[in-house]
Amino acid sequence: MLHTFVVYVEDKPGVLTRVASLFRRLNININSLTVGRSERAGLSRITLVCEASAEAGHRIRASLFKLENVVDVDDISQAPAVTRELALIKVAASPQTRAQIFDLVEVFRARIVDLTSESLMIEMTGVESKIEGLIEVLREDEGRILEICRSGKMTMRRGHHVSSVVKAMTVTPAGSADESAEAREKNVAGEAD
Amino acid sequence: MATNGNSQSSTAHLTTPTPLTGAEILWATLAGEGVTDVFGYPGGAILPVYDALRKFPIRHILVRHEQGAAHMADGYARASGRVGVAMATSGPGATNLVTGIATAMLDSIPMVCVTGNVPTRVLGTDAFQEVDITGVTLPITKHNFLVTRTEDVAATLRHAFQIARSGRPGPVLVDITKDAQQGSANFNFEAAKPRPYRPHPMLRVEDSGLDQAAELIRNAKRPVILAGHGVMESGAMEQVRTLAERAQIPVALTLLGLGGFPASHPLNLGMMGMHGEAWVNDAIQEADLLIACGMRFDDRVTGTPATYALKAKKIHIEVDPAEINKNVKVDVALVGDLAEVLEQLLPRIAGRDGAAWLKAIEASKGAVAVHDIKNLPDMGHLYAAHVMHDLWRMTGGDAVVVTDVGQHQMWEAQYFRHERPRTLITSGGLGTMGFALPAAIGAKIACPEKEVWVVAGDGGFQMTAAELATIVQEKIKINIALINNGYLGMVRQWQEFFYERNYEATPLVCPDFVKLAGAHGIAARAVHKRAEVAEAVAAARSAAGPYLIDFQVEKEDAVYPMIPAGSALHEMIRRPGKRVKDPLEETADE
């Protein structure tokens, strides 16, 4: 089955390698991976989708937690959630053929974000099937698609759910824990002087 | 465990008015963490650290190969429960640690490895002796760090010690660039303290689980406790014993669990698994309840999981949530520190009559004992099993035995009866040949008052035999029992059983080990007959310095019983009674 994990990690060099290496070690292919900033400074949020047996979910989550830089792990494979992907698609279009693309973009509720005399760029967000649908239609005219850039999935639980771990961290004064450790060191250094 | 940390000396003096170099901060932090001994080997990228050593009250043991340093730190940790520390330079020094780190990782041993690296400005340029050691060791460390700033040295090292000794312990590597060692910064031990340790968020010991476990125990007719390495890591010897005695449940031990429950205890079944005694494995296969305490259902313990203990409900008490349902599906999981969980469980456990089950197990021992080599006459041969048995008798079971990997390791586990925790030190998970000699050096330095014996085969011993020189230079009194059969014995045994006796690459031409010891100035003698065993062991024990005994044992003996890989626990190969040309044939019948 498809597993979806939301993982909060410390924003430090090498952390993504550690997460990816865990899946490599378990011989599990990562289908989709999206990493970006989170609501909290110093923490990155990963949405990771992989194919593994139903029982594997527990072990993956437990193993992720064992990584020193992992702060929280949420297995939302079964939970009601909103999932989105982003796609940028560059298509060849002359002033004569643009109108047809505009119609398509309208139907798919995408947007044109760049336009030249020879091509235009479509930006689209949505679920995977919707993006696939647009690409499929564009492909009907051979040679029209020049470039496709697609993100992995971004997923968030529905309802009033927040990471209890990250919430608990917010109780400490502003700045990441490391920054405060640094500040503490500076203070001490000041005292020593 | 939170309890197995090094005792921290007073930290009041650990603030300095003037800045220290990174190298000095490193030693001061180690001292603050209670480190008294470091095993290492110098080199260019760690020279600033070695230069600063003379200012600190820490003993450095110069090894002959960095693998030895890692195994020594490992043996030190296993013998004492304290964090072992190994040190090496960049590049080849660091990569030589790798086998030792993996050994510690597989057996959950708390260890901190410090490596030097090239200066930060040339990191990633393939500079001389540069290797990406944090990349290399990523999957075989609990965590690792690259330190490029002097002001991060103290905090990183302290964090490394916290990680190494907390939860399920493991090795941590700290790679420090040369410029970070040379730079200077203010040092304040207290300020470098890591954030409070966060236990694994998936630890779960709920009342419902405890009640369920108690009920399973109450209703069980044929229960068995499976005690593993976690018993010692958690310090749960008393709790396991109380559980066993109160509910009259027999205890089977994993290899790394030996010593966690006294061998002489009437409820002790002995070692389970591939080379476990037949009655132990039969009891597990017949059991209707298994209570797994700090063990992970390793494949050497279960045989084929699909055939493992099918009649039994299973309770798993384990500190690492990732181990739950990994190899064997369990009915009740109590995820937490073993001692703490058992403290919660014990009030729910009442006295139980286990007589019928214990009697049934006892009855199955008789048939097996006939096959036991211990009960066979030697007829002039020297069997490793006899050597182990005699060594156990003569040392009163008090010695710390450090074994290598192979046949002798299994014979030791079968015939040396361990009464106390940390008296058997062996590489279980990784099965690292060459482990014994260096690990024994570490064990002796951790516990100088203890009698330490190396038990090693002629193959594994030669992998790290260079550390004999370390023994001499550091004046370390350990005794070495070499089980010399001129073969890579365990591999030969597999060839005998499963590869039609095609002894490819297993016969071993060995040096004269007595002369080899002599070349190092180590007293030694060879033993060919059982009658000479006791005298040689006595001579070794009374010798002031290290002593090596070359036990030249039966060449083609095998470890019995044996469960072939991929078989069920009850499908074991027994010591043959009637096989032509078997050396035991003549001894048994004549």
**DSSP letters for B285-330:** HH-SEEEEES----HHHHSSGGGSSTT-EEEEEES-GGGTTSSS--
A-chain CB neighbours of B134 within 8 Å are 14
B365/B358 Cα distance (integer angstroms): 11
B478 vs B548: CA distance, rounded Å: 9
Percent of chain B with pLDDT over 70: 94
B197 touches chain A (CB under 8 A): no
Structure confidence by residue, pLDDT tens digits, B86-122:
999 999 999 999 999 999 999 999 999 999 999 999 9
Cβ-contact B496, B87 below 8 angstroms? no
The confidence band for A153, taking pLDDT boundaries of 50, 70 and 90, is: very high
The amino acid that residue A116 corresponds to is: T
Chain centroid to CA B292: how far?
19
Known active-site residue B66: yes
Q: pLDDT tens, B231-260?
A: 999 999 999 999 999 999 999 999 999 999
B139 neighbourhood in chain A, CB within 8 Å: 21, 25
Q: How confident is the model at residue B17 (pLDDT cuts 50, 70, 90)?
A: confident
Domains by residue range for chain B, with CATH: 2-187 (3.40.50.970), 207-365 (3.40.50.1220), 384-552 (3.40.50.970)
**pLDDT above 90: percentage of residues in chain B:** 88
Residues of A in Cβ contact (< 8 Å) with B321 = 58, 62, 65
Does the pLDDT value for residue B26 go beyond 60?
yes
In the block, which residue shows the tokens 């990569």?
Answer: B95
Task: State the angle between helix axes of B407-415 and B489-498 in degrees (0 to 180), rounded to the nearest 10.
Answer: 100
ipTM over 0.95: no
Is A41 in a helix, a strand, or coil? coil
> Average of pLDDT values for B482-500?
96
Lookup: tokens for A189: 């250094």
Cβ(B70)–Cβ(B113) under 8 Å? yes
Residues listed for chain A: 193
| pLDDT of the residue at B370 | 63
**Band of residue B375 on the pLDDT scale cut at 50, 70, 90:** low
CA angle A149, A154, A157 (to 5 degrees): 165
Tokens of B85: 């520390």
Q: How many helices (H) and strands (E) does chain A have?
A: 6, 9
Residue A179 pLDDT > 70, yes or no? no
Hey, is A146 helix, strand or coil? strand
pLDDT for res B14:
64
Active-site option among B129, B182, B212, B248? B129
Q: How far is CA B541 from the centre of its chain?
A: 24
The pLDDT score that the predictor gives to residue A161 is: 84
Over chain B, what is the mean pLDDT? 93
Least Cα separation, residue A184 to chain B (angstroms): 7
Question: What is the percent of chain A where pLDDT is above 90?
Answer: 80
Alpha-carbon distance of B469 to B453, in angstroms, equals: 17
Q: Model confidence over B149-183: pLDDT tens digits?
A: 999 999 999 999 999 999 999 999 999 999 999 99
Give the confidence band of B574 by pLDDT, cuts at 50, 70, 90. Answer: confident
Is A25's CB within 8 Å of B139's CB?
yes
Question: What's the CA dihedral at A139, A145, A151, A156 to 10 degrees?
Answer: -50
Q: Cβ of B202 and A65 within 8 Å?
A: yes
Question: In whole angstroms, what separates CA B360 from the centre of its chain?
Answer: 33
Task: Compute the average pLDDT of residues B221-228.
Answer: 98
Query: Residue A193: closest CA among chain B residues belongs to which residue?
Result: B17
Q: Is B490 a catalytic site residue?
A: yes
Is the pLDDT confidence value at A96 over 50?
yes
- Residue A151 has a pLDDT of 95
Question: Distance from B200 to chain A by nearest Cα, in Å?
Answer: 7
The mean pLDDT value for A125-134 works out to: 96
Q: Among A77-81, A165-169, B47-51, name the one with the lowest average pLDDT.
A: A165-169
pLDDT tens, residue by residue, B313-338: 999 999 999 999 999 999 999 999 99
Residue B545 has pLDDT above 50, yes or no: yes
Q: Is the pLDDT score of B588 beyond 60? A: no
Q: Does the annotation mark B129 as catalytic?
A: yes
- Classify strands B313-318 and B400-403 as parallel, antiparallel or unpaired: unpaired
Q: How many CB pairs under 8 A join A and B?
A: 58
Q: With an 8 Å Cβ cutoff, is B321 touching chain A? A: yes
The string of DSSP codes covering B49-93 is: HHHHGGGSS-EEEE-SSHHHHHHHHHHHHHHHSSPEEEEE-STHH
Q: What pLDDT, on the 0 to 100 scale, is given for residue B582? A: 42
3-state secondary structure of B446: helix
Please check the confidence at residue B581 and state whether its pLDDT lies above 50: no
Are the beta carbons of A66 and B322 separated by less than 8 Å?
yes
Please give the single-letter amino acid code of residue B562.
Answer: M
Neighbouring C-alpha atoms within 13 Å toward the C-beta of B394: 20
Q: Indicate if the pLDDT at residue A49 is higher than 80.
A: yes
Question: What is the total residue count of chain B?
Answer: 590
Question: Taking all residues of chain A, what is their mean pLDDT, rounded to a whole number?
Answer: 88
Is residue B585's pLDDT more than 80? no
Instruction: Compute the distance between CA of residue A114 and CA of residue A100 in angstroms, rounded to an integer.
Output: 16
The residues of A whose Cβ lies within 8 A of any Cβ of B are 14, 17-18, 21, 25, 55, 58-59, 61-63, 65-68, 72, 165, 177, 181, 184-185, 188-189, 192
Q: How confident is the model at residue A42 (pLDDT cuts 50, 70, 90)?
A: very high
Phi and psi, residue A122, nearest 5°: -105, 135
Q: Do B321 and A62 make contact, defined as CB atoms within 8 angstroms?
A: yes
Burial B84-94 (b: 16+ CB within 10 A, else e): bbbbbbbbebb
B178 catalytic residue (yes or no): yes
CA distance B61 to B439: 13
- Whether B551 has a pLDDT exceeding 50, the answer reads yes
Least confident range from A101-105, A176-180, B295-299, B451-455: namely A176-180
- Confidence at A165, pLDDT banded by 50, 70, 90: confident
Q: What gap in Å lies between CA A191 and CA A185, rounded to an integer? A: 10
In chain A, the percentage of residues whose pLDDT exceeds 70 is 88
Q: What is the pTM of this model?
A: 0.92
Reply yes or no on whether the pLDDT at B264 is more than 50: yes
Residues of A in contact with B188 (CB under 8 A): 185, 188-189, 192
* Residue B8 DSSP class: P
pLDDT score, position B243: 98
Which one of the listed residues B39, B130, B151, B178 is annotated catalytic? B178
Number of CB atoms found within 10 A of residue A154's CB: 17
Strand partners, A5: A48, A75
